Every structure is written in C-alpha cells, then in structure tokens.
Amino acid sequence: MSIQQQYRSRAKELLQDGSVKMVIGYGEGTTATRRRPIFITNPDDTDRLVLDAACKTNLAGYLLREGLLADQKSVAIFLSPSGVRTINILASESQLSSAQVVVLGFQIQGDTVKALEGTKASDFSPLIAKRKEKRKAQPSHEMTRKLEQMTPAERFAFWEGEFSRCIKCYACRAACPMCWCRRCVVDNNQPQWVNTSSHTLGNLEWNLVRAFHLAGRCVECGNCSEACPVNIPLHLLNRRMTEEVLTAFDHYPGADEHQEPVLASFRKDDPETFIL
Amino acid sequence: MSEPFEPKIVAFVCTYCTYAGADLAGTSRLKYPPNVRIVRLPCTGRISPMFILKAFQKGADGVLVSGCHPGDCHFDHGNYHARRRWTAFNALLHFTGVPEERVKFSWISAAEGIKFAELIDSITEEIRQAGPFEQYHKLIAETGSVASV
C-alpha cells in the first residue's frame, strides 16, 4: 500500500470513529506540482487527500483559525517534523493545547515521502532532538557566508536592493504559522512604529521586525519565502536568527511543548560579548 | 562654508542606573559632548528594539542603549531579558549591514558618572569619524520626510 493510501485510510478511520472532527491535509493544486490545504470533515472525502514530495507547506497555522479548537474536540493534521515543532511552540505560547492535535507525521526526503511513527507531538521529541544536533553541525547558508564577508555598507546595499522590491503585501505574515498576533505591530498606528508608505525605509523596518519577532520561534519551514511574490530571501534573515539563538542560548525552537520561549526567559550567565 | 558634522545620538537609558549615572556626571560637572539625546525609561526591559529603529527613522546617526549591570536591576531581572533581546537584535542589525559603531549597548550604574561621560565621549568621536549615517538618511529622504531628532 502506498504511503498516500495508508494515510488516507488512517484519516478515514479517525473521522469515522469520531476521534477527530476534522483532518487538515494536502489536496490537488492548480498545477501538477502545487498542493493546497484541504479541510475534511466527511470520512468519504478522504480520497481527496494527497501525500507526496510536493507537500511542503507547513499547515500548522490553520489550527489557530478562530474557534476551531474552542470546542475541545481534536483535529488531525499532516505535519512534517518542522510542523510538529510548530505545534510545540504554539503550545508553549498557550495558543493551543497539543492534546487536541492528532499528528499525521511524514518526512520528505528528496522525491520520496517517509511515514513517521507517532500521533502526539511529544512522540516526535527524540526525532527533534536529533535534528537539533544536525542543525548545530549544519554550516551557514552559502549566501549568508558571502554576506558576512562583505563590508557593512555592502550588506546594507544588498538588503536595500532586496527590500526595495517589497510591496508590503504581508504574505510572509499571513503564511507564517508563528505570526498569530491579533494585532500586528505593523498595524499599530499609535505609535506608528513602522513606516507604512511603500518606500524602502518602511520595508526595511517591517522585515527587521518580522525577523526579530521570529527569533527563537522560527522552525525554518520556508512558508514565508515561498509566499513572497517578489522573492525576497526572507529565509536568510530567519536562519541567521536561528543560528544566533542556537549558538548563544543553545535554543532550538520547538524542541518540546514545555520549552520556555527564548526571549521570555534568561540565564544569568548568558553570553554578552558586545556590551560595553 | 558648511558647518562641521555633529552626530545626533539617541540614548535609551533606564531610570535607576544609567540615568542616575548621567545625573551624577552632571552634578559632578564632568564634561561630555552635547550630541546625545537621553530618553529615560523605567527599565532596560522596557526598551523595545522598535525604539532603536524609530531613532534611526527620525534621522539619528547613532543609538546607545544602557542600563543596570547584571544583578543590579531594580526589577530584579529586566536587564537579563533585555540582554537576550539585544543579542538577537544586534546580530540582526549586523547581518543587515547597520555598522557596529551605530548601535552600542552598555551597563552603567548610578555610581559610574565617569564611565557615562567617557562613553559618550568615545562613541560621539567614533560616529563623528564615521560621518552621518548616509545610507539610512537616503532611505528617509525617499519618503519625503526630514530628519527630526
């Protein structure tokens, strides 16, 4: 039985025996390589589920749709390991109760999809711990290394060029499962922190704030870069932040649901190399 | 003849340590450059990175953020939280090409009037050497507003 068939029948069982009220998964998209999120409540509709190497979007953000989890019923959701980390972070930030989330875990390796054992987010903790070690050993992105070698003025010019294309559509925010604030700082107008006109200045400010708010929370799922209509390499900023919290505070976002948010906790012996 | 460049520096300081340190510098009649505009806040834990961006948005050439030494916070741990935040934000600013001399962080206690005066002296000199933050000022000019710090 193909993995897709296997997951379809698992989803069907879950809906039939009433253990979940909805399955959030992937369906056919508008082109052969696109997948779109589908929300299934009828067991007969589980044939529409697709699971292949094109299922890259992190669906976890859909769990935060207002009222979805308010009735204490469970929802099953297709998640890659970074998706499971998202659930852990959202739980640690009190945005959802992980007990209401049934994980249909999978992992994409090249062109193939591998099934992952486990149904609760906590079942994946050993896997995530392994990924932390892997992330620590992973060298910085090639472009990051190139940027680090530039002079500050050259780096500024690089980002100025990138951000000048930003149209402030906030697709990066909409696509990010971590951007759950009811009122985003950028929508604030008293005080107006971020310049809202479509000039590079405000674009720079917005992208800095976005990256900072994701420091220690981003699971590097890639939803933001994928959503950006003008292809700003947002992942470079996020990765840089991830590397910073990993080296400075040994923090790997979403390790488990009891992990303290990195910027809402501290250690007295945190490093401080730059403070005069 | 145009006037020589005088940097505009915004200092976000906590009221219990660095502001008191600045006060001590004043009452001790220590001389330090008048280029710094001090913004007093209850605690470094209250200093959002947005403040730093806002200062630059308004045309600052440099920003100083300063508070109590670790262990001395009036609210016990506000500065520990601030330190983590600065670590991340400092790395981000560095990565996006804001030069190191433009944003400084320090611990200055209420007893360190001399340290305050000397630090303001040295960062003012450093930014004076570096010149105005032209790259940022160009972005401000695009929006049609003028520097107003």
Can you give the pLDDT of all 276 residues of chain A as single tens digits? 788 899 999 999 999 999 999 999 999 999 988 899 999 999 999 999 999 999 999 999 999 998 899 999 999 999 999 999 999 999 999 999 999 999 999 999 988 999 998 899 889 999 999 999 999 888 888 888 888 889 999 999 999 999 999 999 999 999 999 999 988 999 888 888 998 888 999 999 999 999 999 999 999 999 999 999 999 999 999 999 999 999 999 999 998 889 999 999 888 888 888 888
Cα distances (angstroms) measured from residue A156 to each of A19, A100, A170, B98:
52, 45, 22, 7
Domain ranges across chain A: 3-131, 137-264
Query: Contact A212/B88, CB-based, under 8 Å?
Result: yes
Q: How far does B40 lie from chain A, in Å, by closest CA?
A: 17
CB of B142 within 8 Å of any CB in chain A?
yes
List, for residues A31-60, the tens digit of each pLDDT value.
988 899 999 999 999 999 999 999 999 999
Task: Give the mutation candidate from B53, B76, B136, B138 for the A interface (greatest A CB count, under 10 A).
Answer: B53
Within-domain flag for B37: yes
Cα distances (angstroms) measured from residue A263 to each of A212, A266, B51:
10, 7, 17
CB of A266 within 8 Å of any CB in chain B?
yes
Rounded to whole angstroms, how far apart are CA atoms A216 and A263? 7
Chain A residues inside the 8 Å CB shell of B97: 150, 152-159
Q: Contact at 8 Å (CB) between A92 and A104?
A: no
Within-domain flag for B133: yes
Domain residue limits at B135: 9-142
CB of B147 within 8 Å of any CB in chain A?
no
Q: How far does A81 lie from chain B, in Å, by closest CA?
A: 25
Chain B residues inside the 8 Å CB shell of A197: 143
List, for residues B119-135, the tens digit of each pLDDT value.
999 999 999 999 999 99
Within-domain flag for B78: yes
CB of A262 within 8 Å of any CB in chain B?
yes
Chain A residues inside the 8 Å CB shell of B98: 152, 156
Does B147 have pLDDT greater than 80? no
Query: Contact B97/A157, CB-based, under 8 Å?
Result: yes
CB of B70 within 8 Å of any CB in chain A?
yes
List, for residues A74-110, the tens digit of each pLDDT value.
999 999 999 999 999 999 999 999 999 999 999 999 8
Q: Contact at 8 Å (CB) between A65 and A11?
A: no
Within-domain flag for B2: no
CB of A179 within 8 Å of any CB in chain B?
no
Query: Contact A159/B96, CB-based, under 8 Å?
Result: yes
The rounded percent of chain A whose pLDDT value lies above 70 is 100
SS3 B77: coil
**Amino acid B148: pLDDT:** 65
Query: Contact B71/A268, CB-based, under 8 Å?
Result: yes
Q: Contact at 8 Å (CB) between A163 and A194?
A: no
Chain B residues inside the 8 Å CB shell of A153: 97, 99, 135
CB of A166 within 8 Å of any CB in chain B?
no
**Amino acid B3: pLDDT:** 78
Model confidence at B149, in pLDDT bands (50, 70, 90)?
low
Within-domain flag for B1: no
For residue A70, which amino acid is it?
A
Q: Contact at 8 Å (CB) between B78 and B84?
A: no
Rounded to whole angstroms, how far apart are CA atoms B23 and A66? 50
Q: Where are the beta strands (DSSP E) in A29-138?
A: 35-40, 75-79, 101-109, 112-115
**Amino acid A269: pLDDT:** 86
- Report which secondary-structure segment, H or E, holds A24: strand A22-28
Q: Which of A154, A157, A205 has its CB closest to that of B57?
A: A205
For residue A220, which amino acid is it?
E
What is the average per-residue pLDDT within B64-88? Answer: 92
Give the residue from chain B lying closest to A155, CA to CA: B97
Model confidence at B1, in pLDDT bands (50, 70, 90)?
low
Give the residue from chain A lying closest to B143, CA to CA: A199
Rounded to whole angstroms, how far apart are CA atoms A78 and A106? 7
| Interstrand relation of B62-67 and B103-107 (parallel, antiparallel or unpaired) | parallel
Q: How far does A19 lie from chain B, in Å, by closest CA?
A: 42
**Amino acid A207: pLDDT:** 93
Model confidence at B143, in pLDDT bands (50, 70, 90)?
confident
Within-domain flag for B20: yes
**Any idea what the CATH number is for the domain that residue B19 is in?**
3.40.50
For residue A209, which amino acid is it?
V
Within-domain flag for B148: no
**Amino acid A45: pLDDT:** 92
Within-domain flag for B147: no
Query: Contact B49/A212, CB-based, under 8 Å?
Result: yes
The number of domains in chain B is 1
For A188, what's the count of Cα atoms within 13 Å in the CB-facing half-sphere? 14
| Interstrand relation of A75-79 and A101-109 (parallel, antiparallel or unpaired) | parallel
**Amino acid B145: pLDDT:** 78
CB of A1 within 8 Å of any CB in chain B?
no
Q: Which of B54, B80, B142 has its CB closest to that of A266?
A: B80
Rounded to whole angstroms, how far apart are CA atoms B39 and B19? 9
Please report the ipTM that was assigned to this predicted complex. 0.89
